[in-house]
Amino acid sequence: MRQLLLFLTVILVGIIFTARLFYLQIYNSSFNSIFDDNAIRKVYDYPKRGFVYDRNGKLLVANQPSYDVMVIPREIEPLDTLEFCKLLKIDKARFDSQLKKAKNYSWRLPSPFVSHLSKEDYAVLQEKMRKYTGFHIQKRSLRQYETTIGANVLGDIGEVNNRDIANDPYYKIGDLMGKQGVEKSYDSILRGRKGIKFIQKDRFNRNIGPYKDGKYDTLPQQGKDIKITIDSELQAYGEWLMQNKRGGIIALEPSSGEILAMIAAPTYNPNDLVGRKRSKNYTKLYNDSIAKPLFNRSLQGIYNPGSPFKLMNSLIALQEGVISNTEKVYCHNGYKYGNRFMGCHCGGGSRDMSLGIQKSCNAYFATAYRRILEKPANAREGIEIWSNHAKSFGLGNFLNNDLAVGQKGRIPDKAYYKRAYPERFYSTYTISNAIGQGEVVTTPIQLANMTAAIANRGYYYTPHIVKAIEGETLPDKFTTPKYTTIDKKHFEPVIEGMLKVYEKGTASSLQVKGLEICGKTGTVENFVIIDSVKTQLTDHSIFVAFAPKDNPKIALAIFVENGYFGSRFAGKIASLMIEKYVNKKITRKDLENWLLTHSLENEYAKPYSGEPFKINRETQYQVIPMEEVIGLPDNSNP
């Protein structure tokens, strides 16, 4: 038996060692790729981020150098804290808290101590930096916005978060990526490709040479410049007019689908989200849950389209042959269906199609809409036909374009109403759709696109923001027309009606001399829940238009929240923006001044006032003195 003691001990130790190896190397292994290996230092070489130009070649976004003071806590030697703080323009408390933060992160690795020094501060500091062992300056590149407009178009860049890293392994902690707008949707083109060097470290964190003689190292690829479709003059002008109002504007070039202006109000200066002030300002914008400046109303705002949708119903009715453009419908100051009644403000009388559009007659379009739905034996089939026509204009779904955000909106169809009305379904159930209320919901960009399709007499190009990418051609989806299900010949009567809107209809006061503008006003009821009571607010002011009538150069959709009549705010803005873009100069300064001095802030305050309030015609204008109007954004380089 005595022989066995050592024998068995040896075997036991062998088993214990194997178990320990299993624990260390398999169960709890830290086996990893060179990217996660902390014995290999990864040094990234960041390429220049691409510039952004507007459609006329004006530089909108460039880069600026920025200097960060970095600290490696364990290398710090005693220093004159007071003098150092003065140089950095921080106080002692800040110094201590930053140092503590850095120590908590790592004693051996550099942490940012003070970020984004100005060039001036850097110049002073650089001279004295050698006195402060353990601190060094790292140069970085920041965005430089050469303009104060287009924050919602251009977007911004910020540090990647953990989700971004999980989604795309290209990004490493501390990398910058586009967070909104063009910076986001064209991030991979603008950023280029960073180069990487793998360097073998030793245990003292010193570099001891390239890992495998640089076998895996890569060179950076420069970011590409892009040209966007925005006309910065028009964009600036639209943003200027929208001051003290909320809403969204999209202006398109019908012949290409290029977005000439994309305005979301309220907005902010894109430079607010650069550098040292970014996080403070971003938090401020993010926390404004009432005005929502980060919410891109022109793309994400979903509204009932209101009367402009009557154009859609006209086209469908003509295409389906349920009404001719000359047939007259009599309006009894409203439309009676069953035992219900839908009122009409058009004044009553006999209307053909163009007069119906011109006067925005509810009775006319209710008649047309019912006929569309009742053409097949079953209204469910009718709604499907109607829905497919409307969807062919890009409504009710994502436009599948190159913008960072979007909304589907809604064009109800057979399936939708099957859920809502499982038992029976008649055309009268959905009569509100005839006038663009009810279940029909669109975004400004969808409505602008619909207008562009009408301007083109039957087709559209997917609205897009990119005009050209250095050394690349645009994808086919932006250069091939998409045809609607409406024949070309049916557009003329509708366009004729839209022209009359300007000549003698709801927008007759907004004509531009020598320019044939086709438009359509909209006034949309809307509600909010205040203390669990559904409360009506002042109607949204909506306008769609294109000009000139032949060979249209611009098509736009304007939503002004709680602006009441379509012609009151939206129509005026449309008229001015068309004049600005087509004629390049503004003749009606009075109209411009009216818009600038009339604020809707009082309307927006109402639901939060906690008191009963009046709406629509009982409201009063809030006029602000001309001195308080913000000047036209300086669109020349600052």
Partner 1 sequence: MRQTDRHFKFDWITILLFFILAGFGWLNILSASHSGEIVDYFSFTEFYGKQLVFIILSIVLIILILSIDAKFYERFSSIIYFASLLSLIGLFIFGKNINGATSWYDLGGMTLQPSEFAKAATALAVAKYISDLQTDIKQFKHQIRIFAIIVIPAFLILLQKDAGSTLVYGAFFFVLYREGLPKIYLILGSILIVLAICALKFGVIVTMLVAAIVVFGYYFTLKKKPSFFQPIIALVIALLISFVVRYTYDSLLPFHQKDRITIWLSLEKDADKLEKMKKEAAYNLLESEKAISAGGFKGKGFMEGTRTTGKFVPEQHTDYIFTTVGEEWGFIGSFGVVLIFVLLILRILHLAELQKSQFSRVYGYAVGAILFIHFLINIGMVMGLIPTIGIPLPLFSYGGSGLWGFTILVFIFVKLDSNRINEW
Binding residues (CB under 8 A) for partner 1: these are 2-3, 5-7, 9-11, 13-14, 16-18, 20-22, 24-26, 28-32, 34, 37, 39-40, 200-203, 208-209, 211
- Which residues, including other chains, have CB under 8 Å from residue 583's CB and lie 6 or more apart? 512, 515
* Nearest-approach distance from CB 8 to partner 1, in angstroms: 10
* Nearest-approach distance from CB 100 to partner 1, in angstroms: 16
Whole-angstrom distance, CA of residue 331 vs CA of residue 356: 10
- Which residue, 24 or 123, is less far from partner 1 as judged by CB? 24
* Nearest-approach distance from CB 258 to partner 1, in angstroms: 52
* Nearest-approach distance from CB 212 to partner 1, in angstroms: 9
- Which residue, 34 or 415, is less far from partner 1 as judged by CB? 34
* Nearest-approach distance from CB 38 to partner 1, in angstroms: 9
* Nearest-approach distance from CB 76 to partner 1, in angstroms: 19
Question: 263-272 burial string, b = 16+ CB within 10 Å, else e?
Answer: bbbbbbebbb
* Structural element, H or E, at residue 591: helix 589-597
- Which residue, 9 or 81, is less far from partner 1 as judged by CB? 9
- Which residue, 18 or 222, is less far from partner 1 as judged by CB? 18
CA atoms within 13 A on the CB side of 490: 21
* Nearest-approach distance from CB 32 to partner 1, in angstroms: 7
- Which residue, 2 or 424, is less far from partner 1 as judged by CB? 2
Q: What share of the chain is helix, strand, coil (3-state, %, to 5)?
A: 40, 25, 40
Residue 484, exposed/middle/buried by CB under 10 A (0-12, 13-18, 19+)?
A: buried
Residue whose C-alpha is closest to residue 218's, from 158, 176, 170, 161? 170
- Which residue, 28 or 326, is less far from partner 1 as judged by CB? 28
Q: In degrees, to the nearest 5, what angle opens at C-alpha 535 toward C-alphas 531 and 541?
A: 135
Report the chain's C-alpha Rg in angstroms. 31
* Nearest-approach distance from CB 33 to partner 1, in angstroms: 10
Whole-angstrom distance, CA of residue 304 vs CA of residue 410: 9
- Which residue, 40 or 469, is less far from partner 1 as judged by CB? 40
Q: Which two tokens stand for residue 207?
A: 């570099």
Q: How many residues does the chain have?
A: 638
Residue 401, exposed/middle/buried by CB under 10 A (0-12, 13-18, 19+)?
A: buried
Residue 220, preceding bond cis, omega within 30 degrees?
A: no
Instruction: Please report, to the nearest 10 degrees, the dihedral formed by the alpha carbons of residues 382, 385, 391, 392 taken in order.
Output: -150
* Nearest-approach distance from CB 217 to partner 1, in angstroms: 15
CA atoms within 13 A on the CB side of 460: 31
- Which residue, 216 or 429, is less far from partner 1 as judged by CB? 216
- Which residue, 201 or 408, is less far from partner 1 as judged by CB? 201
